[in-house]
């Protein structure tokens, strides 16, 4: 992010500065420790000019009386998949709420097939086998949409199921192939069931990729419109350009195209999938081993579109029981998950990216994967010391106390998803078993160790509205009502800080956003109620009245383009 420009005030300029907009009669939660609460905010040139200006300090072209509504910095989802989410908006909705049984899932596939041109792929997303009792399979998909290429994605994104027509394209009709870091799952007779885990999904995506830029730009626009309605003004997109997570090698171009056409509604920081990086032919003394062409790396871009961390997957999913653990998952013995690549190779990629100046965001769910990442970050710092790297561990799902302590000592950022607790909590508890319950999706112990906690959803893995996230971070209950590692609950104030200043810090952007203070971008959300003042059970129900970026109203609940 760019540094704060100087803000002219009456004191410095010797005369009154003119505000474009003055918000008054507001309950402002600034997230700025220097002045946590305020009643009014002056905005000029898309930035905060003053907080609680004295009467007469600023002339204002426009004054909005918010009638006591609550104002916060715009929410920042620190880990989401924006294009993927936008695409799911036009695919069959297979989330548990829409397809609660396998029969309902197959019926949804049949409807999607009828609405999809012959020859085009029939795609659905969001199923959760732990709620359905089983994964769908090729035979069911073949029956639901005879002869069609059907691709249904698990809600975690870490696995998918395809129909026989797709398996035929891949030459996997009768027998599986070995895939490093993934699995083509077979039944007892060795026949593929259609289920593809982790990196085996790349076999499928190779058939549908690359997506055209125009399709992705449309998805980015649809996602952004929904984000604004939920108070989101910034997102970190957790992996583009490669691996099973990207949609095309030119994915950045889709975001640029959306922006050029005025279709990029929120600020986006793009993580680059590690597979998209390649060796650079730089001078050996440059230490630029791994990157994008021209040496582009973390930090390139501006306040609206910017390159963030390198995203690397070290393991898989907890509910899918593919994440790499030191000990067996609960249930049938012998399964400890697996790493997505050879351990030494993963560590070498992290080291090379660190040396080349990248912030690194490593997906690590199981305690074994977390140890690998902690070791790699420690070694990277030891061999090539760099200040203020803010390397991240995405999810940090099953962590021992000593791992939390070590993450703090290494100056890392753990990025857990509060929302997983509700939507995936029952499946996670079943997978981890009671001995590891206290290690799951920590928050409070991260803060206690001095870590900065960002707020994130991993949307479309789960629903991503930030107030839902804040609700879950406070309430910590699985969908069944079972308390989920309740000792890790935090306050609404702490959860709001996560979704604002915490996420900004994780993006090296706290000098530009995440707090309401002079000089910060005027990205704001207006809420009907104060999440810190209502009962914890009613946080999710709080309405978003308006969302501003650059000091301008981009969403309002009445649709009139005016602040309430
Ligand atoms: Zn993700």
As a whole-number percent, the residues of the chain with pLDDT over 70 amount to 97
Q: What is the mean pLDDT of residues 283-305?
A: 89
Distance 80 CA to ligand 1 centre (A): 6
Pick the range with the lowest mean pLDDT from 281-285, 372-376, 377-381, 512-516: 281-285
Q: What is the DSSP string of 403-461?
A: HHHHHHHTT-EEE--TTHHHHHHHHHHHHH-GGGGGGBS-SHHHHHTT--------TTS
Confirm if 457 and 445 have CB atoms less than 8 A apart. Answer: no
Query: What does the pLDDT read at residue 2?
Result: 43
Distance 81 CA to ligand 1 centre (A): 6
Distance 156 CA to ligand 1 centre (A): 8
Query: What does the pLDDT read at residue 298?
Result: 87
* pLDDT for residue 485 is more than 70: yes
Distance 31 CA to ligand 1 centre (A): 26
526 membership: H or E segment, kind and range: strand 524-527
pLDDT, tens digit (0-9, with 9 covering 90-100), for 392-424 = 999 999 999 999 999 999 999 999 999 999 999
pTM (two decimals): 0.92
Distance 341 CA to ligand 1 centre (A): 18
User: Left if phi > 0, otherwise alpha if psi is -120 to 50, otherwise beta: which for 171?
Assistant: left
Distance 316 CA to ligand 1 centre (A): 10
pLDDT, tens digit (0-9, with 9 covering 90-100), for 423-459 = 999 999 999 999 999 999 999 999 999 999 999 999 9
* pLDDT for residue 38 is more than 90: yes
Distance 275 CA to ligand 1 centre (A): 15
Confirm if 270 and 305 have CB atoms less than 8 A apart. Answer: yes
Distance 10 CA to ligand 1 centre (A): 46
Query: What does the pLDDT read at residue 16?
Result: 63
Pick the range with the lowest mean pLDDT from 51-65, 69-83, 252-266, 458-472: 51-65
Distance 327 CA to ligand 1 centre (A): 24
Distance 147 CA to ligand 1 centre (A): 32
Q: What is the mean pLDDT of residues 344-361?
A: 97
Query: What does the pLDDT read at residue 6?
Result: 47
* pLDDT for residue 14 is more than 60: no
Q: Is the peptide bond before 460 cis (omega within 30 degrees of 0)?
A: yes
Which is it for strands 290-291 and 21-24: parallel, antiparallel or unpaired?
unpaired
* pLDDT for residue 22 is more than 90: yes
Distance 393 CA to ligand 1 centre (A): 11
Distance 394 CA to ligand 1 centre (A): 8
Query: What does the pLDDT read at residue 244?
Result: 79
Token digits of residue 311: 């995203």
How far is it, in rounded angstroms, from Cα 237 to Cα 268? 7
The residues with which 269 forms a beta bridge, in sequence order, are 236, 306
* pLDDT for residue 462 is more than 60: yes
How far is it, in rounded angstroms, from Cα 185 to Cα 351? 33
Distance 153 CA to ligand 1 centre (A): 14
* pLDDT for residue 13 is more than 60: no
Residue partners of 100: CB distance under 8 A and separation at least 6: 131, 132
Q: Provide Rg for the chain, Cα atoms.
A: 24
Q: What is the mean pLDDT of residues 278-284?
A: 92
Distance 239 CA to ligand 1 centre (A): 8
How far is it, in rounded angstroms, from Cα 100 to Cα 494? 34
Q: Which pLDDT band, with edges at 50, 70 and 90, does 338 fall under? A: very high
Q: What is the mean pLDDT of residues 281-309?
A: 91
Distance 19 CA to ligand 1 centre (A): 40
Distance 274 CA to ligand 1 centre (A): 14
Query: What does the pLDDT read at residue 351?
Result: 98
Nearest residue to 481 (alpha-carbon basis) of 537, 426, 531: 426
DSSP state of 320: T
Confirm if 43 and 21 have CB atoms less than 8 A apart. Answer: yes
* pLDDT for residue 8 is more than 70: no
């Amino acid at each position: 992010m760019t540094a704060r420009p100087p803000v002219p005030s009456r004191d410095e300029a010797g005369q009154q500065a003119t505000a474009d907009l003055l918000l008054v009669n507001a309950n402002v939660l600034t997230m700025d420790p220097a002045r946590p609460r305020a009643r009014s905010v002056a905005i000029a040139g898309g930035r905060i000019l003053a907080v609680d200006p004295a009467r007469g300090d600023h002339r204002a072209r426009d004054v909005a009386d918010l009638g006591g509504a609550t104002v916060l910095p715009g929410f920042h989802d620190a880990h989401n998949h924006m294009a993927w989410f936008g695409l799911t908006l036009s695919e069959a909705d297979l989330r548990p709420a829409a397809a609660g049984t396998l029969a309902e899932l197959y019926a949804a596939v049949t409807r999607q097939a009828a609405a999809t041109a012959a020859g085009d792929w029939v795609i659905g997303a969001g199923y959760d086998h732990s709620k359905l009792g089983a994964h769908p399979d090729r035979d069911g998909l073949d029956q639901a949409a005879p002869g069609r290429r059907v691709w249904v994605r698990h809600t975690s994104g870490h696995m998918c199921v395809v129909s026989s027509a797709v398996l035929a394209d891949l030459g996997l009709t009768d027998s599986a192939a070995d895939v490093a870091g993934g699995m083509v799952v077979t039944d007892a007779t060795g026949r593929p069931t259609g289920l593809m885990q982790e990196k085996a999904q790349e076999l499928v995506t190779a058939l549908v990729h690359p997506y055209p830029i125009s399709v992705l730009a449309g998805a980015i626009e649809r996602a952004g419109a929904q984000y604004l309605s939920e108070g989101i003004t910034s997102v970190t997109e957790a992996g583009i350009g490669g691996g099973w997570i990207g949609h095309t090698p030119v994915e950045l171009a889709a975001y640029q195209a959306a922006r050029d056409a005025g279709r990029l509604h929120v600020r986006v920081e793009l993580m680059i999938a590690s597979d998209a990086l390649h060796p650079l032919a730089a001078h050996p003394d440059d230490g630029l081993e791994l990157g994008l062409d021209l040496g582009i790396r973390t930090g390139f871009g501006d306040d609206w579109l910017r390159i963030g961390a390198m995203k690397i997957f070290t393991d898989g999913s907890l509910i899918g029981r593919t994440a790499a653990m030191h000990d067996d998952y609960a249930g049938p013995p012998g399964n400890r998950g697996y790493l997505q690549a050879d351990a030494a190779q993963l560590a070498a990629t992290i080291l090379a990216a660190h040396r080349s100046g990248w912030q690194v965001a490593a997906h690590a769910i199981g305690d074994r994967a977390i140890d690998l990442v902690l070791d790699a970050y420690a070694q990277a710092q030891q061999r090539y010391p760099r200040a203020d790297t803010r390397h991240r561990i995405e999810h940090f799902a099953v962590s021992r106390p000593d791992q939390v302590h070590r993450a703090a000592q290494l100056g890392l950022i753990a990025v857990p998803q509060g929302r997983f607790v509700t939507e995936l909590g029952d499946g996670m508890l079943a997978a981890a078993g009671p001995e590891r319950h206290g290690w799951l999706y920590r928050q409070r112990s991260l803060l206690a160790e001095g870590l900065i906690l960002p707020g994130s959803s991993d949307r479309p893995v789960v629903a991503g509205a930030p107030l839902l996230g804040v609700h879950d971070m406070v309430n910590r209950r699985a969908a069944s009502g079972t308390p989920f590692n309740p000792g890790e609950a935090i306050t609404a104030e702490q959860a709001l800080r996560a979704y604002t200043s915490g996420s900004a810090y994780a993006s090296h952007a706290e000098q530009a956003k995440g707090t309401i203070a002079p000089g910060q971008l005027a990205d704001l959300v207006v809420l009907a109620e104060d999440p810190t003042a209502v009962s914890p059970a009613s946080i999710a129900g709080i309405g978003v009245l308006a969302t501003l970026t650059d000091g301008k109203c981009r969403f309002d609940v009445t649709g009139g383009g005016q602040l309430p």
